[in-house]
């Protein structure tokens, strides 16, 4: 082949591509590029899938929200007998703390202390 044959665009491109494919550095770069490209495509697919799923969940919740508000069980009230309410009030009022003198508090604190230490 003459030098003029290598100057033609088709042959020059073919020779450059062939040299690049047989070069270990270029093959390594191409391999890395393909790996990173595939990882990017998979990540973008996951993001798109997650976005679609969240949109679908939002639409489902928006459709169900008005139905929940008009559901008859949501508006039901609980009847508590008056005796139960009075018993609860008596329990709360009878559970008032007793007044303790300062000296008595110190003794109680020392007794409750852990490992010989007072609180």
Find out whether 26 and 20 touch, Cβ atoms under 8 Å. yes
Average pLDDT over residues 92-104: 58
Axis-axis angle for helices 24-69, 9-21 (nearest 10): 80
Q: What is the predicted pLDDT for the residue at 53?
A: 94
Distance, C-alpha 5 to centroid of its chain: 62
Tens of pLDDT, residue by residue over 12-58, are 888 888 888 888 888 899 899 999 999 999 999 999 999 999 999 99
The pTM assigned to this predicted structure is 0.40
Structural contact between residues 15 and 6, judged by C-beta atoms closer than 8 angstroms:
yes
Q: Does the pLDDT at position 102 exceed 70?
A: no
pLDDT at 109 over 60: no
Distance, in Å, from the CA atom of 111 to the CA atom of 106, rounded to the nearest integer, reads: 9
Torsion angle, CA of 7/11/14/18, rounded to 10 degrees?
-70
pLDDT per residue over 67-78, tens digit each?
555 555 555 566
Distances (CA, A) of 40 to 28, 92, 103: 18, 64, 73
Mean pLDDT of the chain: 75
Is residue 59 predicted with pLDDT exceeding 80? Answer: yes
Nearest of 84, 101, 81, 100 to residue 92 by alpha carbon: 84
Q: How far apart are CA 60 and CA 38, in angstroms?
A: 33
């Amino acid at each position: 082949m003459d030098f003029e044959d290598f100057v033609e665009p088709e042959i020059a491109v073919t020779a450059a591509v062939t040299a690049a494919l047989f070069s270990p550095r270029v093959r390594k770069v191409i391999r890395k590029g393909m790996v990173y490209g595939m990882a990017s495509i998979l990540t973008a697919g996951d993001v798109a899938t997650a976005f679609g799923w969240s949109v679908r969940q939002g639409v489902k919740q928006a459709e169900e929200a008005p139905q929940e508000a008009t559901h008859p069980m949501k508006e039901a009230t609980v009847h508590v007998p008056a005796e139960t309410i009075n018993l609860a009030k008596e329990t709360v009022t009878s559970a008032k703390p007793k007044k303790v003198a300062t000296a008595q508090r110190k003794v109680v604190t020392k007794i409750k202390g852990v490992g010989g230490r007072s609180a």
